[in-house]
Structure 1
Amino acid sequence: MYDERHPGLRRRGFLAATSLGALALTTGCGTADGDSDAKSDGAPKPGGRLRAAFAGGGASETLDPHLANLFADVARAKALYDKLADYGADLSAQPRLATQWEPNKTLDRWQVTLREATFHDGKPVTAEDVLYSYRRIADPDQAFRAKASLEPIDLDASRATGQRSIEFVLKRPTAEFPNVLAAFGAYIVPAEATDFDKKPIGSGPFRFVSFAPGRSAVFRRHDAYWEGAPHLAELEFVVANEESARVNALLGGQVEYAHELNPTTARAHEGKGQIEIVRLRNSAMQAFCMKTDRPPFDDPRVRQAFFLIADRRELVDGALSGAGVVGNDLFGKGYEYYDDSLPQREQDLDKARALLRQAGAENLKVTLDTSAVAAGFTEAASIFRDQAAKAGVTIDVKTGSKDSYWADILDNGTLCCYRSGAMPIEAHISQRLLTGSTTNATKWRHKDFDALYEQAQSTRDESARAAVYDRMQRRLYTEGGFLIWGFADWILGTARTVRGVEAKAPANTLDWARFDKVWLA
């Protein structure tokens, strides 16, 4: 099950050795429809089949876009379906099936206009399809991924005002309503659609050909796609759960795209000419999470001391093998509303010791929960333990189960390793830092902070709203519970023949795994 404590997308460790073994027999030479002749390396070329290797979820995989949890699920969903909006590289909402959105003066009603687009069966995408999709996602008896994101909408009161226009009635003022339209998993399906694995119909750039759960999925170009037909004739997703299997398939010419490579692999092959390494910057926040409602971290001086204990460059170099940038204890570096005016925090052990003395926490001992659930977690814990020792703090590293780690650390313990995929800063605040947030791992609960969030959501002017977010971030920078030491690259590998892969898009954004803009040279 998708875990909101680890937004971004989860991974599974099922072995699918047969998928790549059968690949050469099932996919031919990487061309399709007989239109793969190249014109020039500089311009997009039509045709060909691109084979993309992702970690999968075994026989339980589905093409139901509202159940998309794995990276492979979401990549397949993006190929078959559209959302009303999606996140740009700075995590601001960008129009997709919606061409415009306009609020009333009180920001609790929004008029959304749809573009002219068709599903794969030729039927137009209508307001009724949107309302059906959102009501399906919001079904209280289902565990659809985007359910929590759609919570601000009163779907009983919302209505179609035309074939391509919708009035969304909200439960409260929501200035960032476009983020709801762009929510992870909020895909639009045809009204009354229920069969997603045998004959799924979407409005995305590729249409369904075949699907073998845990093995592969084949899609073909949708020539009538509203943004223009893809360059590729066909797209195949192949399951390869082990990173070594994905790399070897790429090196052996069995696939042209390998998702999720580790930094060691990237260093071994970058610039060598055999494959191309693509780094998606600022894709994953890396942090230590301090519980602010219990000793010793209920004293802000202890939290401030821990901010100053961290040598962020050493953590990035050691835990991430240098594949990332240092953090500054704020989420969303490079994203919309990020406050980059605050000074970069550096290690200051003398000041850290002084703060601990003031708090009566000399010779402090604390347990740091970690797990092999995410790359770099155990390494970061060991590095930070050694850094803390220099300030007189004893850290006991406790390694927990990969299967239950995110549930275990939400309410238990005092200090833990944490990470998050890309999401808007507003969503990070609403999901993790409000008194009523269900994934509030730092237990940051302050009514005046909640009031600032409500003020931001009630502020129509963007610059005035940004000023409120700045106030909130400055508060977190001073006394928050997230020690955010870095932002990791997400690393992909491609064959040298692949063109059009966007290198500036963090994972989870519009241009990540966007195969309609890719071609084979």
Structure 2
Amino acid sequence: MHDESPRPLPSSAPFAESFPGLRRRGFLAATAVTGAASLGALALTGCGGGARDGGSGGDGKPKRGGRLRAAFAGGGAGETLDPHLSNLFADVARAKALFDKLADYGADLSAQPRLAEKWEANKALDRWQVTLRKATFHDGRPVTAQDVLYSYRRIADPKKAFRAKASLEPIDLDASRPTGRRSVEFVLKRPTAEFPNVLAAFGAYIVPENATDFDKKPIGSGPFRFVSFAPGRSAVFRRYEEYWDGAPHLDELEFIVANEESARVNALLGGQVEYAHELNPTTARAHEGRGQIGIVRLRNSAMQAFCMKTDRAPFDDKRVREAFFLIADREELVRGALSGAGEIGNDLFGKGYEYYADSLPQREQDLDRARVLLKKAGAENLKVTLDTSAVAAGFTEAASIFRDQAKKAGVTLDVKMGSKDSYWNDILDGGTLCCYRSGAMPIESHVSQRLLTDSTTNATKWKHKDFDALYQQVQSTRDKKERAAVYERMQRRLYTEGGFLVWGFADWILGTARTVKGVERKAPANTLDWARFDKVWLA
């Protein structure tokens, strides 16, 4: 999978049945479609100052009580509450309400302890001792080391297609063992300095030992406990008073399926929901500042890029790749393809994340220099096919804009529309240039999944043994400052001659009723404060 953003699916009939007063006629027409594969989205977190939506229950403090209704795109009658199968936005938000992971990502995509109270590595970085905090499942049983190992072994089942399976690959689960009721020794197949990222992996939720049925009465250790679930329609959860991180402010949380953006927006405007996930920039601009609903923009939530195959002509010549870096007018791409809802990129993944090389100069359009490089490479009057699709918001617009930019440098781009259903598989190995996007993940994960010789989703075909060696050096380095220095070396190499032309980072946009408080406004998608309804309250 290439795009780490959950997928919304089309059709909103279940929502119309749940709220017969809503009708399709007159709905706003625009929809926002994300890419094909796995995680991106909203960010709600605890009370306090800083970037959160101020407001209070009237006395400056969070208010307890009430039911918050949240509208998400869903997956129809086949939806499940199995947290290890989470793939859509709605799946992941529901899983996060019911279950916990050992760790999760902070605002800078660094791993933060959750069910794990602490972790410590041996000198060789190939054995990690993880100590669990005192937490209980919804039926009162304590969360134990056996539950953790059962969960991870279930995820790693080769017969299953569980989301976090690849992320757990560094762990030798046969050799790993409990060292106490609340402690686990993880034995790794190789040194892994960034092992906490594995604990925070998307979908790596902890479930009770031997749990298999998650749709009738799922039991987790999360902030809300199960009340009811109608696949493709709604799910209702109630506050878990004994939650280790403090009981939620809300009495109840209801997830409602509304696949069309227009249905979610109209339900929010009509008071039938208090939260609407995934709004497009046009909708946001229409309502921002009017006071009727709140608009929240989650910065740096999705990388937007063009992917150049570095193993084939014309992009096997690094001068051609550099020329394409210089052809791009990033500001025009953000304005046109993202409707201004984002910020420019600098040909590197992870802007604002831990280890990001922000010291590199911002690359700007230089058509004269691009022409010189193309001439030196013998690539004057170059013609290239640019694969795109309506699979993700802004893809077709970005392709058209970049085609016009390239023309000014003497390059002809033939834009080819691909299937939404097969696009990500088609562009992994096929073609030479394509539109690409990714949700948030640690920079280490981006490197390991996409930029190593044996990476399974290496769409740029970046295969360099010396680069692989730098990654192994990072994972064998205990000192964080020393690791950061190696990450910078790797990023300087990618900045100079890599295959990702990263032109922007898209905002993720959500809408809330004015009564909703405690909304985090700084954390990007896929972090700890994504879908964190336990720290939200209704004024």
What TM-score bracket applies, with the shorter chain setting the length? over 0.9
Contact 1:20 1:238 (8 Å CA) reproduced: no
For 2:221 and 2:16, locate their aligned partners in 1 and report how far apart those are by CA, in whole Å: 29
Mapping for residues 30-109 of structure 1, pairs under 5 Å: 40=58, 42-109=60-127
Aligned partner of residue 111 in structure 1, secondary structure: strand
Whichever residue aligns with residue 501 of structure 1, its letter is V
Mapping for residues 329-344 of structure 1, pairs under 5 Å: 329-344=347-362
- Deviation track 1:286-340 (CA, whole Å, cap 9, x = no partner) reads 0000000000000000000000000000000000000000000000000000000
- Deviation track 1:449-503 (CA, whole Å, cap 9, x = no partner) reads 0000000000000000000000000000000000000000000000000001111
Whichever residue aligns with residue 158 of structure 2, its letter is P
What is the match of residue 416 of structure 2? Answer: 398
For 1:316 and 1:134, locate their aligned partners in 2 and report how far apart those are by CA, in whole Å: 40
For 1:24 and 1:230, locate their aligned partners in 2 and report how far apart those are by CA, in whole Å: 30
What is the match of residue 12 of structure 1? Answer: 9
Contact 1:291 1:414 (8 Å CA) reproduced: yes
Q: Does 1:136 align with 2:141?
A: no
For 1:243 and 1:41, locate their aligned partners in 2 and report how far apart those are by CA, in whole Å: 34
TM-score normalised per structure 2: 0.93
What is the match of residue 275 of structure 1? Answer: 293
User: Cα distance, 1:279 vs. partner?
Assistant: 0.3
Whichever residue aligns with residue 440 of structure 1, its letter is N
For 1:430 and 1:242, locate their aligned partners in 2 and report how far apart those are by CA, in whole Å: 35
Contact 1:285 1:421 (8 Å CA) reproduced: yes
User: Cα distance, 1:39 vs. partner?
Assistant: 5.2
TM-score normalised per structure 1: 0.96
Which residue among 275, 279, 288 is the counterpart of 1:261? 279
What is the match of residue 481 of structure 1? Answer: 499
Aligned partner of residue 491 in structure 2, secondary structure: helix
User: Cα distance, 1:10 vs. partner?
Assistant: 2.0
Mapping for residues 434-445 of structure 1, pairs under 5 Å: 434-445=452-463
For 1:138 and 1:467, locate their aligned partners in 2 and report how far apart those are by CA, in whole Å: 33
User: Cα distance, 1:19 vs. partner?
Assistant: 2.3
What is the match of residue 520 of structure 1? Answer: 538
Aligned partner of residue 63 in structure 2, secondary structure: coil
Q: Does 1:250 align with 2:246?
A: no
For 1:483 and 1:203, locate their aligned partners in 2 and report how far apart those are by CA, in whole Å: 41
For 1:50 and 1:376, locate their aligned partners in 2 and report how far apart those are by CA, in whole Å: 31
Which residue among 344, 348, 351 is the counterpart of 1:326? 344
Relative to structure 1, the CA distance from residue 39 to residue 344 in structure 2 (aligned partners, 3 Å threshold; closer, same or farther) is closer
For 1:281 and 1:153, locate their aligned partners in 2 and report how far apart those are by CA, in whole Å: 33
Which structure has more relative contact order (CA 8 Å, sep 6+)? It is: 2
What is the match of residue 442 of structure 2? Answer: 424
Which residue among 329, 337, 357 is the counterpart of 2:375? 357
Which residue among 201, 211, 217 is the counterpart of 1:183? 201
Gaps of 5+ in 1: 26-37
What is the match of residue 112 of structure 1? Answer: 130
Q: Does 1:207 align with 2:204?
A: no
Which residue among 500, 507, 512 is the counterpart of 2:525? 507
Which residue among 226, 248, 259 is the counterpart of 1:241? 259
Contact 1:52 1:236 (8 Å CA) reproduced: yes
Q: Does 1:456 align with 2:478?
A: no
Gaps of 5+ in 2: 22-55
What is the match of residue 469 of structure 1? Answer: 487
Aligned partner of residue 149 in structure 1, secondary structure: helix
Contact 1:16 1:215 (8 Å CA) reproduced: no
For 1:117 and 1:170, locate their aligned partners in 2 and report how far apart those are by CA, in whole Å: 26
How many matched pairs?
Answer: 505
For 2:535 and 2:72, locate their aligned partners in 1 and report how far apart those are by CA, in whole Å: 19
Q: Does 1:295 align with 2:291?
A: no
Whichever residue aligns with residue 112 of structure 1, its letter is V
For 1:328 and 1:219, locate their aligned partners in 2 and report how far apart those are by CA, in whole Å: 42
For 2:19 and 2:130, locate their aligned partners in 1 and report how far apart those are by CA, in whole Å: 44
For 2:428 and 2:57, locate their aligned partners in 1 and report how far apart those are by CA, in whole Å: 55
What is the match of residue 403 of structure 2? Answer: 385
For 1:427 and 1:22, locate their aligned partners in 2 and report how far apart those are by CA, in whole Å: 40
Percent identity between the aligned chains? Answer: 84
User: Cα distance, 1:16 vs. partner?
Assistant: 2.7
Aligned partner of residue 112 in structure 2, secondary structure: strand
Contact 2:225 2:240 (8 Å CA) reproduced: yes
Contact 2:321 2:498 (8 Å CA) reproduced: yes
For 2:372 and 2:79, locate their aligned partners in 1 and report how far apart those are by CA, in whole Å: 54
For 2:105 and 2:63, locate their aligned partners in 1 and report how far apart those are by CA, in whole Å: 27
